[in-house]
Amino acid sequence: MARAIIAGAGTLPALLLKAGPAHLVAFEGVEITCGGAPVIPARFEQLGHLFGALRAEGIDELCLAGAMSRPRFDPSALDEETKALMPRLMAAMGQGDDGLLSSVISLLEDEGFAVRAAHELRPDLVAGEGGLAGIPTERQLADAARARAVLAALGPLDVGQGAIVASGQVLGIETLQGTDAMLDFVGRTRPGSRGVLVKRPKRGQDLRVDMPVIGPDTVRGAADAGLAGIEIAAGGVLLLERRAVLAEAEARDVAIWATP
Amino acid sequence: MARAIIAGAGTLPALLLKAGPAHLVAFEGVEITCGGAPVIPARFEQLGHLFGALRAEGIDELCLAGAMSRPRFDPSALDEETKALMPRLMAAMGQGDDGLLSSVISLLEDEGFAVRAAHELRPDLVAGEGGLAGIPTERQLADAARARAVLAALGPLDVGQGAIVASGQVLGIETLQGTDAMLDFVGRTRPGSRGVLVKRPKRGQDLRVDMPVIGPDTVRGAADAGLAGIEIAAGGVLLLERRAVLAEAEARDVAIWATP
């Protein structure tokens, strides 16, 4: 098996390189950190070319890693294989993020590639059930339960990987703009709430795409927003730079724990 | 029947005075516009005193109107009747906004008062099904349907009187901070989205409390946030200053329509 990581922004692609040798696929317009690994440049309009390059390197396993924004297609640059895929791609683009990415995975599988989740390559990046930093209060656990209920209700709609609740009041529900934008919103509109951020995959979400992530920035953002705790899904949220996350949590008095 | 309006902030209490003579109940700390109507001052700690004052004026009908924040109780100021009600009030305070306000209504009814919804006094303040300003596009109608689905999912959790969707993507879900804060968030994070704001009561919501409202400021806020349409629930959203709302909608090219 030879592996390639389809690299989005952030540190995740570099972390996955530590799981073993891999090529990095770098789409035009995506800023990546290559860390010395061989890079295969790619364009969304030229998937036929990309598939050829992957096969030429003997690559049969792919992993999508890191944030990527929805591509804009330049119709004049389409190669033949991409042209043939366009009806399927256009239908996928009309769906929610999960729908789009699931379609992309099916397409890659139909091309003969195995698609792996980031935590299959690096099981040490997800947390087991239990406490990670600090000890949540009863109030925080109750707030987290309410946030989980909000996310469970929204899951079937392909919305919501995060929510913030303080003293029983819902202060933030994550939308397309992401966790950092939600934290900023809550910090500005309800500073010092001592609420809890809950991050979970959407119910039934394919973890091979858009797996939720927290890192030191998330803890900093939560503390800056006046929150007192972060609950993540055990086995379902990538913990980037665990040591830095825990140090930040201790320094800023933010409890972190994982529930099933 | 003699009537009193329990007045919160905003223009709604003054609009309800046009439905017929009424006293205004002004709780300490709430800024009200009295418009020449007789005012009964009140404190949350002295409900016994308030009930006595209402009965002394022969008032048997109440209407809660306008925004009021959760009260803080000064225990040293409690009158006997309020002391007796405290267990019930404390239990109510632990609930969501709807739970709290429904408990307040039951309490008022147990005291012998009839509690009316604002649109029972002024049926002309709600809109019937159909277009109010401009003509929504197919895209906007589809975005509105997705926002409605999000709100329907959240209704049982006592969350969400509003949501914003643009091109199928959920950009905002209203939380405790209200519609204006959500519009500001979407305008800053996704300017020029041409999305749709949907405002509806929560499913099963008692319209006698916290009925959703739009006014000229809402239209301005939506336009400033780059939205192209506003959908409201027919018969379920108060339309304050309808003429100004429609003028603003026309000036800013925002379509407004009502669905069942």
Closest to B33 (Cα-Cα) out of B69, B57, B71, B67: B67
Closest CA to A9 of A195, A217, A170: A217
Q: Mean pLDDT over residues B34-61, rounded?
A: 91
- Considering the four listed CATH numbers 3.40.50.20, 3.40.50.150, 3.40.50.300, 3.30.70.380, the one that applies to the domain covering B2-121 is 3.40.50.20
From B99, B131, B103, select the one nearest B205 (Cα to Cα).
Answer: B99
Phi then psi dihedrals of residue A243, to 5 deg: -65, -45
A172/B181 Cβ within 8 A: no
Report CA dihedral (A120, A125, A128, A134) to the nearest 10 degrees.
-170
CA B242 from centroid of its chain's CA atoms: 16
Query: Which helix (DSSP H) or strand (DSSP E) does residue A16 occupy?
Result: helix A12-17
Q: Please give the Cα distance from B126 to B122 (Å, whole number).
A: 8
| Predicted pLDDT at A97 | 66
The pLDDT of residue B252 is 97
**Tens digit of pLDDT for each residue in A1-23?**
799 999 988 888 989 999 999 99
Which residues of B fall within a CB distance of 8 Å from A169?
Answer: 96, 175-176
Which part of chain A has CATH 3.40.50.20? 2-121
How far does CA A100 lie from the centroid of its chain? 14
Q: With cut-offs at 50, 70 and 90, classify the pLDDT of residue A32.
A: confident
Neighbour count for residue B82 (Cβ, 10 Å): 21
Over residues A201-251, the pLDDT tens digits come to 998 888 888 789 999 999 999 999 999 999 999 999 999 999 999 999 999
DSSP letter at A67 equals B
DSSP A11: S
- pLDDT at residue A256, rounded to an integer: 98
Q: Which residue of A has its CA nearest to B173?
A: A173
What per-residue confidence (pLDDT) applies to B97?
66
The whole-angstrom distance between A113's CA and the closest CA on chain B is: 29
A-chain residue closest to B155, CA distance: A153
User: How high is the ipTM of this complex?
Assistant: 0.87
pLDDT for A134: 96
| pLDDT score, position B136 | 97
Segment 72-101 of chain A within 8 Å of chain B by CB:
94-96
Tens of pLDDT, residues A86-119: 888 888 776 666 677 788 889 899 999 999 999 9
Which of B139, B161, B167, B173 is the best mutation test for A, with the most CBs of A within 10 A? B173
At residue A36, the pLDDT reads 82
Is the pLDDT score of A71 beyond 80?
no
Q: Helices H, strands E: what count in chain A? A: 9, 13
Q: What is the pLDDT of residue B96?
A: 63
For residue A211, give the DSSP letter: -
Q: Calculate the alpha carbon distances from B170 to A96, B148, B197, B252 in Å.
A: 9, 11, 10, 23
Q: Is the pLDDT score of B34 beyond 80? A: no
Averaged pLDDT for residues A170-177: 96
The answer, yes or no, to whether residue B44 has pLDDT greater than 90, is: no
CATH code of the domain made up of A126-259: 3.40.140.80
Convert the pLDDT of each residue in A129-161 to its tens digit.
999 999 999 999 999 999 999 999 998 898 989
Average pLDDT of the residues of chain B: 91
The whole-number pLDDT of residue A96 equals 63
Q: Please tell me the predicted confidence (pLDDT) of residue A170.
A: 96
Instruction: Looking at A126-241, list the stretches that DSSP marks H as alpha helix, in order from N- to C-terminal side.
Output: 138-154, 179-189, 216-224
Taking CB atoms and an 8 Å limit, are A157 and B149 in contact across chains? yes
- Judged against a pLDDT cut of 90, whether residue B135 lies above it is answered with yes
- CA–CA separation, A145 vs A254, rounded Å? 17
**CB-based contacts of B243: which residues, under 8 Å, 6+ apart?**
none
- pLDDT score for A254: 98
Listed in order, the ranges of chain A carrying CATH 3.40.140.80 are 126-259
When comparing pLDDT for A35 and A111, which is higher?
A111
Other beta carbons less than 10 A from residue B21's beta carbon: 9
How high does pLDDT run on average in chain A? 91
**A155 CA to chain B: closest CA distance, Å?**
9
**Residue A17 has what pLDDT?**
92
Quickly count: other Cβ atoms within 10 Å of residue B113's Cβ: 18
**Chain A environment of B69 (Cβ under 8 Å):** none
pLDDT for B143 equals 97
Interval B74-90 mean pLDDT:
86
B69 part of contact set with chain A, CB < 8 Å: no
